[in-house]
């Protein structure tokens, strides 16, 4: 491309950009931006409501899971104590039989 062609493209770009700025900074464009921003904020509020509901559900699930693990730990601990007591009883029974 020649120097004249590049210069013409540059000047065309500047003019197009200037016209675009005039259009984008007009009163009607500002109205469109305002309505688009308002719609975006309404959408954000709706999304945040759903996020809060999901978080509450997750909190409930987490609490239930912790309770299940605590119950399981207690059950395993009780079984261990019973097994230990049974083992001690068997040892004492065997000791008394040997005497």
DSSP 66-82: HHHHHHHHHHHHHHHHH
- Domain of residue 32 covers 3-98
Q: Are 31 and 25 in contact (CB under 8 A)?
A: no
Cα 45 to Cα 37: distance, rounded to the nearest angstrom: 12
Q: Cα-atom radius of gyration of the chain, to the nearest Å?
A: 38
Per-residue pLDDT of the chain (99 residues; tens, 9 = 90+): 677 777 888 788 877 777 766 777 778 888 888 899 999 999 999 999 999 999 999 999 999 999 999 999 999 998 888 877 777 776 666 656 665
Q: Whole-model pTM?
A: 0.45
Number of domains the chain is built from: 1
């Amino acid at each position: 491309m020649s120097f004249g062609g590049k210069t013409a493209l540059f000047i065309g770009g500047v003019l197009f950009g200037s016209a675009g700025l005039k259009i984008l900074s007009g009163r009607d464009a500002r109205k469109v931006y305002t309505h688009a921003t308002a719609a975006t904020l309404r959408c954000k509020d709706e999304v945040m409501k759903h996020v809060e509901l999901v978080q509450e559900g997750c909190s409930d699930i987490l609490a239930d899971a912790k309770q299940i693990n605590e119950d399981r730990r207690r059950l395993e601990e009780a079984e261990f104590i019973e097994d230990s007591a049974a083992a001690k009883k068997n040892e004492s029974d065997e000791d008394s039989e040997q005497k």
